[in-house]
Amino acid sequence: MPALNPIQLEVLKLFQFSKTEEELQELKCVLVDYLSKKTVSEADKAYDERGYTLNDIEKWRKNHQRKKT
């Protein structure tokens, strides 16, 4: 197993302060919120950089990408 990176180590340190299930859930919510905002930000950046339009997104929505097994 590879060594933990600095971010992973810091997250582990945060979890040591959670004493109850409620505190654990709060901390998880904070992390999910942070990661969600980062994901949306990266998606917005790609959208702008690549010049996508709403028409592109509509085409993707209708396009079936799954492979038959």
SS3 68: coil
How far, CA to CA in Å, does 39 sit from each of 44, 53, 58?
9, 19, 20
Write down the pTM of the prediction: 0.65
Tens of pLDDT, residue by residue over 1-52, are 789 999 999 988 888 888 899 998 998 899 999 999 999 999 999 999 999 9
CA distances from 58 to 50, 52, 53 (A): 16, 11, 9
pLDDT band at 69 (very low <50, low <70, confident <90, very high): low
